[in-house]
Homo-oligomer: A and B are copies of this chain.
């Protein structure tokens, strides 16, 4: 592992970001040691971040051998390819399953993430309930896909965490505190039974337990953002 550090692996991130969590999960699954560059917050961006991701100026950025890689799922795929001989593969080996995993990761960012963002920024009870309903609706196709891809195992990737688990599981960093704060369940046995059980398995996984942001701290983050939105 020391060799990895010498190669220079650095992650520009922030503890509260689900997108950064994706990169951390991938690095951890592959057993890659890295230097963690923690940003101050989401609005004061470091020189290193601005220089490394001049187009989007967003975290996470992975720097490897002095070259930046941007966009969370592109980082996950990069980590999977570069450290391909280490531990398990994150993307499936089968071509069709790889394409499916990429499709659902795209779907999660395209359809699930915006609903969760709405939920985080919801300040009225009505807006919160609407966001929960829409998030649950966006998760329905994933409930179906889980049955097909997990083949009776605990994860989308089968026996262990894979590409879709990382893409969706990272948002449990928001879902769990939102459920706690608002007292409305997004993942419920009567609505999304498979994803509800999957979320429990995901959060109990050793790699995830180590990296998932503390939900009480995340409750404070959501409260802070809502205060910011409501006074903006």
Q: Which residues of A contact B (CB under 8 A)?
A: 55, 64-65, 67, 69-71, 74-75, 77-78, 81-82, 95-96, 98-100, 102-103, 106-107, 141
Contact = CB atoms under 8 A, between A and B. Distances in A.
B99 A77 contact: yes
Nearest to A82: B95
26 contacts: A55-B107, A55-B141, A64-B96, A65-B96, A67-B96, A69-B96, A69-B99, A69-B100, A69-B103, A70-B103, A71-B102, A71-B103, A74-B99, A74-B102, A74-B103, A74-B106, A75-B99, A77-B99, A77-B102, A78-B95, A78-B96, A78-B98, A78-B99, A81-B95, A81-B98, A82-B95
Contacts of A77: 99, 102
Nearest to A101: B74
The number of times this chain is found in the oligomer is 2
Given A71-B102, A77-B99, 11 more contacts: A64-B96, A65-B96, A67-B96, A69-B96, A70-B103, A75-B99, A78-B96, A78-B98, A81-B95, A81-B98, A82-B95
A36 to B, nearest CB: 20
A13 B205 CA distance: 42
Contacts of A95: 78, 81-82
Contacts of A67: 96
A70 B104 CA distance: 10
A82 B70 CA distance: 26
Contacts of A102: 71, 74, 77
Contacts of A141: 55
